[in-house]
Chains A and B, each alone.
Chain A
Amino acid sequence: MGIPVEQILIQTINGLVNGMILALVASGLTLIFGIMDVVNFAHGELVMLGAFTGATTLAVTGNFWLALVAATLIVAMFGAALQISTLRPLIGRDPLTTILATFGISLVLQKYALWQWGPSARKLQEPISAQFSLFYLKYPWYRITTALLSAAIIGALYLFLKYGKYGIWIRAAIQDRVMAQAMGIPVPLLHTAVFAIGAGMAAASGVLFGPLAGVTQTIGADFTLRAFIVVVVGGMGNLGGSILASIFISLLEAYASLIVSPAQAVIVSFVALILTLLFRPTGLFVPTPK
C-alpha cells in the first residue's frame, strides 16, 4: 500500500501549521522554566482559558482580531495575578513544589471553565474563510495565516529578547539570577512579567487554535502534555530548540496519522521523547555539551 505524494504534502503543511501553534505554547513554557525553574503544569489551561475568553469576546464584538488581542491581554494579566499569588511565595523552595502548586491551579481552572462555559464544544468562527485548492482539497487560507501569525509572534519575542532593554534583563536573569539581582535588575518583577508573557502567548495560541477544532475545557491537558514533550525534546529552557522540536513533533504526528488513527499517532511523539531522553537527554536541537 503506497501513500500518495499529495497526501504526504498535505500532511506536511498540516504538521507545519500545528507545529507553529504548538511552538507558541511551548516557547512560553520554556521561557517560564528558563527564568524561574517553574514547570507550569497549568500552561495548557491558560491556552484553554484564552480560547474561551476569545470565544466570549468574539460573540460580543464579532471581531476575531479584537478577540485575539483581548484574550491575550486578559489572560496575561490573569497570569501575572496567578504568579504573584501562588508562585511568588514558592521562590527558593524545591522546584518540585511549583509542579504541585501549578497542578492544583490546573485542576481549579479546568473545572472553573466547565462551570463557566459548560461542557459543549465551541468553535470560533474563522476570520478568513477563503480557501485555495491544494490537489483535490480546498485548503483554508486561515491555517496558513495562523502559522504565519504564530511565527510573527515568536519572531517578535525573539527580537525583544535579543535587542529590547527588558529582553536583555530577562536573558541576564536566565543566565545568572543572583548576579542580575546584584546589578539592580528587579528579578521578582521580571518573573511576574515573564509569566504574563508566557500566559499571553498561550492565550493567543488558544484563540488561533479555536477555529481549527472545537474548544472544550479538556484541551488544556492535551496542550500541556504536548508542550512538555516538545520542551523536553527541544532541550529544557532552550527557546530555539523547543520551536524546532514543535515542528518536528507535529510533522511526525501528521505523518503517523496517515498510517494509524490520530489518537494512536500521539504515541509516535511519546516514543520520540523517550528516544531523546535515552540518547540526547539535553535535547535534540542543542549543541552537544562538552
Chain B
Amino acid sequence: MRHTDASYWIGFCVILALLAVAPLVLPEFWRRFVTEILIWGLLAMSSDILIGYTGMVSFGHSAFFGLGMYGAAAVLLAIKPANLWLAMLAGLAAAAVVAMFVAYFATRLRDIYFAITTLVFSQIFYVIIFTWTEVTGGENGLNFSRPALAIPGLFSVPFTTETLHWFVLAVVTVSYLVVRRVTQSPFGMVLQAIRENEPRARAIGYSVERYKMVAVMLSGLFAGLAGILYAIQNKFAAPDFVFFLISGEVVIFNVMGGMGTLVGPIAGAAFFLLLREGLSRYFTEYYLIPVGIIFTAMVIFMPQGLLGFARRRLNQ
C-alpha cells in the first residue's frame, strides 16, 4: 500500500515536471499542441466523473464547455480593461447555471435516456447560440483579445506561449487533484456504488438522484473551466464548440484513454490529438475515417482503454 502510494506520487511528479519543462524545449507548434492537450484533457477528465465513476454517459459536455467559453468571452468583451479572473468567474457561473439546469432534468433518467437527454440539451444551447446573432455573434462567434495574467496590486504580465502553458498546467493539475480527492471521498464512493448497482445504492438509503445531480454539476463546472481556458488560448468563442460532435470527441477521449482513471481521459485526449495530427497529413480532412475505425475497434476489443490496466493503481 505505502509502496504503491510512493510510486504513484513519484510518477505524478515526474510527469508534472516533464509537462512544466515542455514549453522550454519544444518548438512553437508543439508548445501550443501540449497546452491544447491539457485543455481537452481537462474536459475529458470532467466527463470521466460521470462516465467512469457514476456510470452515466454524457453526450452533452459541449454545452458546459461552450457556455464556459461564451461566459468568459462576454466578460472579456464587456468589461474594460479585460480581467482574467472576472472572465473565469463568469465562465464558471455560466457553466454552473447550464449544469444545474441539465442536472435537474437529465438525472431523472438512466443509461441511454440520460445520454440522449444530455445530447438534446446541448443541441438546445447550440441552436440558441447559433441563432441569437446579436448577442453571440451567431455563426461567426466572438473575437476578443487575451487578458493579462495579473494579480491586482502585485503584478501584471501579458500571456506568452510559455506562461499560458504554465497557467493551464497549474489549473489542470489543481483540478486533477481536486477531482481525484472527490472521487476518493465518501461522496465519490457513493457515486461508484451507483455505477455498480443503482437499486442497491438506493436501497441502502442514499438519495441517488441528489448524488447524481451533484456529480453532473461538478462535472459541468470542470468542463466549463476547460472552455474558459480554451477561450483564453484561442481568443475566440464559436458555436462549433457547443455542437454535439465535441461531446462525442470527449466520449472518444474517455474510451481511448480508459474510463474511471481520470488520467486516462487526458492520455486519451493526447492520443486522439496526436492521431489526428499524424493522420491528417495523409488523410487531410478525412482523418476521422481511420480514427473512427480505431475507436470502434477499441470499443470492441479494448474496452478498458490505454490506461485501463493501471486503473486500480491510479485510484489508490
Contact = CB atoms under 8 A, between A and B. Distances in A.
Interface of A: 39, 86, 89-90, 93, 95-97, 99-101, 103-105, 107-108, 110-112, 114-115, 221, 225, 228-229, 232, 236, 261, 263-264, 266-267, 270, 273-274, 277-278, 281
A84 to B, nearest CB: 12
A-B CB proximity, top 9 nearest: A104-B296, A108-B292, A107-B292, A104-B295, A111-B288, A101-B299, A100-B299, A111-B289, A39-B112
A169 to B, nearest CB: 25
13 contacts: A99-B115, A100-B251, A103-B248, A104-B295, A107-B289, A111-B288, A115-B289, A221-B244, A236-B113, A264-B127, A270-B120, A274-B105, A278-B108
Given A107-B248, A107-B291, A107-B295, A232 B57 contact: no
Given A97-B299, A99-B112, A232-B113, A104 B293 contact: yes
B288 A232 contact: no
Main secondary structure of the interface of A (DSSP, over half): helix
Contacts of A89: 300
Nearest to B249: A107
Contacts of A105: 292, 296
B143 interface: no
Contacts of B130: 263
Chain B binding site: helix, strand, loop or mixed by DSSP? helix
B131 A264 contact: yes
Contacts of A97: 299, 303
Contacts of B105: 274, 277-278
B258 to A, nearest CB: 13
B293 A263 contact: no
A1 to B, nearest CB: 20
A93 B304 CA distance: 13
A277 B117 contact: yes
Interface centre among A93, A97, A107, A112 (most CB of B within 10 A): A107
A114 B285 CA distance: 9
A104 B299 contact: yes
A89 B244 CA distance: 27
Interface in B249-277: 251-252, 255
A225 B120 contact: yes
B295 A267 contact: no
B115 A267 contact: no
B309 interface: no
Nearest to A93: B303
B300 A90 contact: yes
